[in-house]
């Protein structure tokens, strides 16, 4: 499992879906979930994860977005979560629409609409709105902040993260160059 964190973290960096030590990932476990440490580089040391209980008790050094991960696991069947900061998705989320309607074939197939939610980073407010959306979807964009994707494993959560950025980039290019 630790190798999956590093492998997916490297893919997120290679696709420019995260930069620096932004973003976080988690995987559900019997006793809670494993989450990347706050300030960790997602493509680095697989030892940069900690076990977090689902009861919300804070594990020292857990990602600052632990509230979102806890809320999503408590509200959904997702087994893994990827939070990234894809630039096109972040930019489109700032335009004020409550949802983004995808126009490319992959988006139409996997996520015809992507909800945009709002709330301060690391807050319970953000956790509640993200969890509410991810209870019935695989991807949501936090306005001005980034994507939260859930799936059966880190690979699927990564796929939805990459998909959201691709769809937003296509929308940007078609609106810019029409």
Per-10-residue mean pLDDT of the chain, 178 residues long, equals 89 93 93 90 78 81 92 97 97 91 93 96 96 98 97 98 97 75
DSSP 29-62: ETTEEEEEBTT--TTS-TT-EEEE-TT-PPPTTB
Give the model's pLDDT for residue 56: 63
All domains in the chain, ordered by first residue: 2-176 (3.40.225.10)
Cβ-contact 49, 36 below 8 angstroms: yes
């Amino acid at each position: 499992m630790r190798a999956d964190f590093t492998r997916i973290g490297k893919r997120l960096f290679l696709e420019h879906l995260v930069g620096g030590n932004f973003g976080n990932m988690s995987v559900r476990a019997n006793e809670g979930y494993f989450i990347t440490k706050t300030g960790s580089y997602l493509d680095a040391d697989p030892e940069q994860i900690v076990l977090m209980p689902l009861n919300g008790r804070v594990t020292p050094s857990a990602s600052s977005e632990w509230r979102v991960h806890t809320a999503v696991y408590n509200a959904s069947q997702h087994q893994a979560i990827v939070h990234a900061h894809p630039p096109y998705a972040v930019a489109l989320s700032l335009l004020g629409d409550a949802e983004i309607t995808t126009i490319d074939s992959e988006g139409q197939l996997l996520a015809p609409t992507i909800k945009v939610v709002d709330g301060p980073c690391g807050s319970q407010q953000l956790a509640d709105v993200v969890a509410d959306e991810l209870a019935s979807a695989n991807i949501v964009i936090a306005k001005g902040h980034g994507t939260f994707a859930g799936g059966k494993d880190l690979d699927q959560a990564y796929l939805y993260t990459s998909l959201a950025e691709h769809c937003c980039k296509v929308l940007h290019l078609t609106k810019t160059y029409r």
